[in-house]
Amino acid sequence: MNRALGRAILPLAVILAIGPLRDTSGEGLPARSSASPDVQDLIVLGPTRPLLLRLHVTIDGKPFREVWQERFGELFDAQDRDGDGRVNAEQARLIARDMDGGVRGSARSAKPASKAGQSPADQEPDRATLSSSIQASQPPFVLYGRALISRSAGLALFPLLDTNGDHQLSSEELAAAEQQLKQRDFNDDGVVTAFELILDPAALADASDPVGGEYGTPQEQPAMLLGRAVAGEEVARRLLERYDRNADGNLSLAGGDQELTLPESIASALDRNGDERLSGAELAAFAQREPDVELAISMGQVSARERRGNRQCVKVEDGWRVRQKLLRGYDLQLGDVEIDLTVNNRNPEQADLYSFTVTDRDDNEYVDLQEAQASEIGAAAFAAMDIDGDQKVNEGEFNSFLAEQSAAAAVRLQIHVFDRGQDLFSLLDVDVNGVLSPRELRTAAGVLAIEDKNGDGLLNGSEIPQRLLFEIVRGADPPPDEAKLKAGHVPISTSESLSSGPLWFRKMDRNNDADLTPQEFIGTPAMFQKLDANGDGLIDVEEAAAARS
Beta strands in 236-390 (DSSP E): 250-252, 277-279, 293-299, 321-324, 330-334, 337-344
Cα 450 to Cα 15, 230, 424, 427, 460: the distances in Å are 39, 43, 13, 10, 13
Asked if residue 456 lies in contact with residue 328, where contact means CB atoms within 8 angstroms, the answer is no
3-state secondary structure of 280: helix
* pLDDT higher than threshold 70 for residue 82: yes
| Radius of gyration for the chain, computed over Cα atoms and rounded to the nearest angstrom | 28
Res. 267 pLDDT band, cuts 50 70 90: very high
* pLDDT higher than threshold 50 for residue 300: yes
* pLDDT higher than threshold 60 for residue 438: yes
φ and ψ of 124, to 5 deg: -125, 75
Domains of the chain: 495-548 (1.10.238)
pLDDT value of residue 37: 93
List, in sequence order, every residue forming a beta bridge with 168; answer none if it has no partner. Answer: none
- Quote the distance between the C-alpha of residue 504 and its chain's center: 48
For the chain, give the mean pLDDT.
Answer: 78
Largest Cα span, the chain: 100
Residue that wins the pLDDT comparison between 523 and 221? 221
Let me know how long the chain is: 549
3-state secondary structure of 158: helix
CA distance 180 to 163: 9
CA distance 457 to 28: 43
- What pLDDT, in 10s, does the model give residues 141-150? 999 886 555 4
User: Under 8 Å CB-to-CB from 390, ≥6 apart: which residues?
Assistant: none
pLDDT value of residue 244: 93
pLDDT value of residue 335: 87
Which helix (H) or strand (E) is 235 found in, with range?
Answer: helix 232-243
- What pLDDT, in 10s, does the model give residues 375-415? 888 888 898 898 888 999 999 999 999 999 999 999 999 99
CA distance 466 to 333: 10
pLDDT value of residue 484: 37
pTM as predicted: 0.73
3-state secondary structure of 517: coil
* pLDDT higher than threshold 70 for residue 207: no
Tell me the residue type at 82: D
Tell me the residue type at 411: V
User: Under 8 Å CB-to-CB from 84, ≥6 apart: which residues?
Assistant: none
CA distance 251 to 258: 8
Task: State the burial class of residue 525 (Cβ atoms within 10 Å of its Cβ: 0-12, 13-18, 19+).
Answer: exposed
